[in-house]
Chains A and B, each alone.
Chain A
Amino acid sequence: MFIINYLQKLDFITNRCNIFARKRVFLLNPKKYSTKANQLNENDLIKGCINNDVYCQQVLYEKFSPKMMGVSLRYCNSKMEAEDVLQDAFIKVFDKIKTFKGEGSFEGWIRKIVVFTALKSNDKRVRKFEPGNLDNIQEQSLESKAISNMETANLLSILQELPEGYRTVFNLYAIEGYSHKEIGTMLEVSDVTSRTQYSRAKLYLIKLLAKYGIQRI
């Protein structure tokens, strides 16, 4: 009991200065400390991860993995693939965390790594930039209320049905907020291609939504 009390006191101190972070991991089962994860602020976590502290890495992973899994899922065809991307992305995060200079938000930095890892992983596949079957698609207004009432999971499955090229451009432009020029550089295509792919992606999406019963008012 005495030892545990002592260690808890030590943990209280180390939460502030993080010097003994590495030692603490060896001394205590990190699972016991999951409740204390919220006490560690982001800077402590980053410092701990730079010191290769497994506990801090786990806290960081637990903090960001659900959100990043959401990002990864949007770029991949299946959950398994998304988990592979997430795994590679977190390996990169832990390896390159020293290079994070505190410019911009940490979450944004991790998100960028996840997006780039997903793009790189999808590069192995042939990303199709082709018109697809757009013959019967016309610009039509949709009931926006009906879409907002849809579950995100359903929207995700609709998004995953988009051809890969369309989905990537739609994700990067509409959700991530990159400009067409940036997207062009990332995907090694011209910004005009990115623009046309995006407008086609939207048309395709409207068709898919219509297929699932969200019709014109």
Chain B
Amino acid sequence: MSNDIENIFKEKFENFEAAPRAGLFEAIQAKRKKKRRAIWIWSSAAILLAGFGLWHLTSSLEENINLANESSIQTERNVTEEKAAEQNYISEQQESPRAPEKDQFQMNRSEGKGVVASHTTKTEYLEHSQKEKASKNKNTKKQSNDVASTRKIVNSELADLFEKISDDKNESTGKGKLYFGNKEYDVDKAPIFDSNKDLNQASEQDNPSIVKTEDTDSDLTVSKETIDQVANNTTLPIHRLVELSKWSIEASASPGIGNRRLSGEQEYISLRNESENPKLSYAFDIRTLYQLSPKLNIQLGLNATIRNEQFDYTTSNKIITTEREETKYETVIHPVLGEIIRKYTVVISESEEVSGLQTRTNNKFTNITIPIELEWELWKRNRITLIGKGGLTAGIYSNAQGSMILDPDKVVSLHSSPYKKAGIHSANAGLGIAVQATRRISLIAYPQVRIGLNSSYSNNSAFSQKETGIYTHVGLRIRL
């Protein structure tokens, strides 16, 4: 018999048709368009971001390569075109006592791109190689490489920095490192900026292999072939100025608890509060940071928050009354007519209590926002920094899935409720720590309070719902 039920249901429902509401097709088209538009927007934003990152990386790489090329090109040019000038310079060096480094440096600046500095080093290595050639103990190539490794390249960027620092000696020189060869100096502690020590003295201490100009032979006749050979075989080390960019990127994931503030009718609010309980929520965040001053930076990015909520509600029991008519027959004995069958109708009403409908769903509110925040350094010791931050987020998209109570007997789907699609704006404030792992990478962790500024429902609804929450951002910050 129970197989009959299966067959009957199958038969009945196999070709069962019902009309969906009018306008559903238009809704499908609109949703598809929106979805496609969203894909375009996000993919183009991702491409732009990736493009910017790539451009930034390649430009900094190119910069470094250019530094090396610039120096090698200058070396060749100096060798071929300015041989006479070199010889003049050397003879000047021999005739007059050495000029202080600061003067020499200014000469560098006056000719730009460190050309004169190259003269000095060129002279040094030419003399050195000549000396070695004369002693015939080692081959020229090896020696030239040795000498090259001791060379100093003064590039325009470095020169700019030197000038700036020497102008503001009393002011903080900011953060950064200078690398000469394998040696690392803090910018403000580099020997090159010590007023009591000139460049050559510092160089001699660091690199004793540099040969002083005064000690050279007076015989300066160097064959052109030797110069070319030395210049061609010289691989120049890249002495680069490592200066950290003001830009950083940050990515974080944030578990937390989200909630909402309701205002409206008290009865309705208490019903909502009974049926909805906050659950573990998540936020994901990617942002770019720009350092306004050593202690203050501004941040702009993209945040996706998923607020979860447990909805559990049972509507009250209902009493359903059904009325049916029943025809009854009665035999009546009539004094004249005899036995008569009388027909009459009785209305029977039956009432039944039907238990309420229980709905249990996991409500999910998805918001995408653009956070604009200021972050300031409150305290710093060694690698650990205490940070405070605050700002606003501008909502660009919001959606909700799940159920909510509309009135005590009605549970509606959030998907079709008058949910405000424009986005939820909010104010943020947070306090946390940043731990510097390497020169560029820091680990960050900060709990942040979020308070909604606008209602997540349209203004014509009977209540106002503002999103709130505490999310703990944990992530990485990379300085470019």
User: Are A175 and B20 in touch, CB under 8 angstroms?
Assistant: no
User: Are A155 and B35 in touch, CB under 8 angstroms?
Assistant: no
Q: Is A180 an interface residue (CB 8 A)?
A: no
Which of B4-12, B200-208, B231-239, B464-472 binds A? B4-12
Interface string of A56-98 (1 = CB under 8 A from B): 0110011001110110011001011111101100110011000
CA distance A91 to B29 in the complex (A): 8
- When distances are taken between beta carbons in the complex, the residues of chain B under 8 Å from A5 are none
CA distance A54 to B25 in the complex (A): 10
Q: Nearest-CB distance from B281 to chain A (Å)?
A: 16
Q: Given that A87-B24, A125-B361, A175-B10 are known contacts, is A69 also in contact with B17, CB under 8 Å in the complex? A: yes
User: Are A83 and B412 in touch, CB under 8 angstroms?
Assistant: no
CA distance A156 to B415 in the complex (A): 24
Q: Given that A80-B412, A125-B360 are known contacts, is A70 also in contact with B13, CB under 8 Å in the complex? A: yes
Q: Given that A74-B13, A80-B416, A155-B12 are known contacts, is A69 also in contact with B361, CB under 8 Å in the complex? A: no
- When distances are taken between beta carbons in the complex, the residues of chain A under 8 Å from B16 are 67, 70, 73-74, 152, 156
* Docked complex: A144-203 residues within 8 A CB-CB of B: 144, 147-148, 152, 155-156, 159, 170, 174-175, 177, 202
Contacting A144 at CB < 8 Å: which of B4, B25, B27, B362? B4
- When distances are taken between beta carbons in the complex, the residues of chain A under 8 Å from B359 are 77, 125
Q: Given that A61-B28, A81-B413 are known contacts, is A67 also in contact with B6, CB under 8 Å in the complex? A: no
Q: Given that A58-B25, A81-B413 are known contacts, is A202 also in contact with B5, CB under 8 Å in the complex? A: yes
Q: Given that A148-B8, A174-B10 are known contacts, is A142 also in contact with B35, CB under 8 Å in the complex? A: no
Q: Is B96 an interface residue (CB 8 A)?
A: no
Q: Is A103 an interface residue (CB 8 A)?
A: no
Q: Is B343 an interface residue (CB 8 A)?
A: no
Q: Given that A83-B21, A125-B360 are known contacts, is A141 also in contact with B5, CB under 8 Å in the complex? A: no
CA distance A79 to B21 in the complex (A): 9
- When distances are taken between beta carbons in the complex, the residues of chain A under 8 Å from B402 are 124
CA distance A126 to B415 in the complex (A): 18
Contacting B1 at CB < 8 Å: which of A79, A83, A95, A142? A142
User: Are B5 and A94 in touch, CB under 8 angstroms?
Assistant: no
User: Are A94 and B28 in touch, CB under 8 angstroms?
Assistant: yes
CA distance A74 to B31 in the complex (A): 24
User: Are B360 and A206 in touch, CB under 8 angstroms?
Assistant: no
Q: Is B333 an interface residue (CB 8 A)?
A: no
Q: Is B14 an interface residue (CB 8 A)?
A: yes
Most buried by B among A70, A95, A141, A148: A70
Q: Given that A69-B19, A73-B18, A124-B402 are known contacts, is A206 also in contact with B24, CB under 8 Å in the complex? A: no
Q: Nearest-CB distance from A175 to chain B (Å)?
A: 5
- When distances are taken between beta carbons in the complex, the residues of chain B under 8 Å from A95 are 32
Q: Is A205 an interface residue (CB 8 A)?
A: yes
Q: Nearest-CB distance from B407 to chain A (Å)?
A: 15
- When distances are taken between beta carbons in the complex, the residues of chain B under 8 Å from A124 are 361-362, 364, 401-402
Q: Is A139 an interface residue (CB 8 A)?
A: yes
Q: Is B135 an interface residue (CB 8 A)?
A: no
- When distances are taken between beta carbons in the complex, the residues of chain A under 8 Å from B172 are none
Q: Nearest-CB distance from B199 to chain A (Å)?
A: 68
Q: Nearest-CB distance from A74 to chain B (Å)?
A: 6
Q: Nearest-CB distance from A140 to chain B (Å)?
A: 8
CA distance A62 to B25 in the complex (A): 9
Q: Given that A125-B361, A144-B4, A148-B8 are known contacts, is A65 also in contact with B412, CB under 8 Å in the complex? A: no
- When distances are taken between beta carbons in the complex, the residues of chain B under 8 Å from A83 are 20-21, 24
Interface string of A24-63 (1 = CB under 8 A from B): 0000000000000000000000000000001001100110
User: Are A206 and B9 in touch, CB under 8 angstroms?
Assistant: no
- When distances are taken between beta carbons in the complex, the residues of chain A under 8 Å from B32 are 91, 94-95
User: Are A70 and B1 in touch, CB under 8 angstroms?
Assistant: no
- When distances are taken between beta carbons in the complex, the residues of chain B under 8 Å from A148 are 8, 11-12
- When distances are taken between beta carbons in the complex, the residues of chain A under 8 Å from B35 are 91
Interface string of A3-19 (1 = CB under 8 A from B): 00000000000000000
* Docked complex: B1-55 residues within 8 A CB-CB of A: 1-2, 4-6, 8-21, 24-25, 27-29, 31-32, 35
User: Are B29 and A147 in touch, CB under 8 angstroms?
Assistant: no
User: Are B360 and A90 in touch, CB under 8 angstroms?
Assistant: no
CA distance A66 to B401 in the complex (A): 25
Contacting B9 at CB < 8 Å: which of A65, A77, A79, A174? A174
- When distances are taken between beta carbons in the complex, the residues of chain A under 8 Å from B19 are 66, 69
- When distances are taken between beta carbons in the complex, the residues of chain B under 8 Å from A156 are 13, 16
* Docked complex: B311-366 residues within 8 A CB-CB of A: 357, 359-362, 364
Q: Nearest-CB distance from B6 to chain A (Å)?
A: 4
Q: Nearest-CB distance from B202 to chain A (Å)?
A: 68
CA distance A77 to B357 in the complex (A): 10
- When distances are taken between beta carbons in the complex, the residues of chain B under 8 Å from A74 are 13, 16
User: Are B12 and A152 in touch, CB under 8 angstroms?
Assistant: yes
User: Are A69 and B360 in touch, CB under 8 angstroms?
Assistant: no
CA distance A180 to B336 in the complex (A): 73
Could you tell me which A residues sit within 8 Å of B by CB distance? Answer: 54, 57-58, 61-62, 65-67, 69-70, 73-74, 77, 79-84, 86-87, 90-91, 94-95, 124-126, 139, 141-142, 144, 147-148, 152, 155-156, 159, 170, 174-175, 177, 202, 205-206, 209
14 additional A-B residue pairs with CB within 8 Å, beyond A148-B8, A206-B2: A65-B24, A66-B19, A70-B18, A73-B18, A80-B416, A83-B21, A90-B25, A91-B31, A94-B32, A142-B5, A144-B4, A156-B16, A175-B13, A202-B2
Could you tell me which B residues sit within 8 Å of A by CB distance? Answer: 1-2, 4-6, 8-21, 24-25, 27-29, 31-32, 35, 357, 359-362, 364, 401-402, 412-413, 415-416
**22 A-B contacts (beta carbon < 8 Å):** A61-B25, A62-B25, A66-B19, A66-B20, A67-B15, A69-B20, A73-B18, A82-B20, A84-B415, A86-B20, A87-B24, A91-B31, A91-B32, A91-B35, A94-B32, A124-B362, A139-B2, A147-B4, A148-B12, A152-B12, A170-B9, A174-B6
- List 4 A-B pairs, minimum CB-CB distance, nearest first: A66-B17, A70-B16, A141-B1, A174-B6
